[in-house]
Amino acid sequence: MTLVIGITGGIGSGKSTVCKIFRLLGVPVFEADLVGRQLLETDEKLKSRVTGLFGRDILTTGGTIDRKKLSGIVFNDEDKLKKLNELIHPAVKEKFINWKNKRRNCPYVVHEAAILFESGFHEMTDYTIVVTAPEDQRIERVMKRDGESEGHIKARMKKQYSEDYKKQLADFILPNDNNSLIIPEIIKIDNNLKRYGKIR
């Protein structure tokens, strides 16, 4: 049986870096956020439902969904964000199930999602890992990466579960601060999953 390892963490925690290391170890990684964005572009049924909910003003001149405009609509409106997620999450879940079924010979796969717990995707996993880092380091990373202001990053952080709460929900905590050696920890997790079928 192929195990599913859910990986999450706050903005700037380094989830993507962790997933890159798992990929280098030969582990298939499903990026839920990326798949969600791709579905908004390629799934006509989903696109139709989203435009039905938010209006055709969210479309670009080329007929694709303007994700920046859509984000602007839902960012400060919890109800609209909830409705959008209710459309996207089932489509992402279906994609994941199909993707996982094609990888039945793998000892385990990784399901990476920024809102793993918030979306309920953790219910599809066998273990969950939360990547952590101090808030000031996370803000600095995102400012360098995306060029966003500190205020905007903090506002985004408030939209997700707090790191402390995620740590309570997780099976394993993976510190990714400037003092921790993260690669040996990931290799240890990988060895235990491939050898024993569990995180020890």
Last-in-domain residue among 52, 70, 95: 95
Last-in-domain residue among 72, 95, 118: 95
Distance (Å, rounded) from C-alpha 173 to C-alpha 150? 25
Band (pLDDT 50/70/90 cuts) for residue 176 is: very high
Pairing of strands 127-132, 172-175: parallel
Q: pLDDT digits over 145-166, tens only?
A: 988 899 988 988 888 899 999 9
Task: Please give the share of the chain, as a percent, with pLDDT higher than 90.
Answer: 76
User: Residue 22: CB partners within 8 Å, gap ≥ 6?
Assistant: 7, 29, 110, 186, 190
Residues 173 and 121 in one domain: yes
Q: pLDDT digits over 62-91, tens only?
A: 888 998 899 889 888 889 999 999 999 999
The pLDDT, as a whole number, for residue 156 is 86
Provide the number of structural domains found in the chain: 2
Q: Give the structural domain span for 129.
A: 1-28+103-200
Last-in-domain residue among 69, 95, 121: 95
Check pLDDT > 80 for residue 200: no
The reply to whether the predicted model has a pTM over 0.85 is: yes
Residues 184 and 116 in one domain: yes
Q: Is residue 85 a contact partner of residue 119, using CB atoms and an 8 Å limit?
A: yes
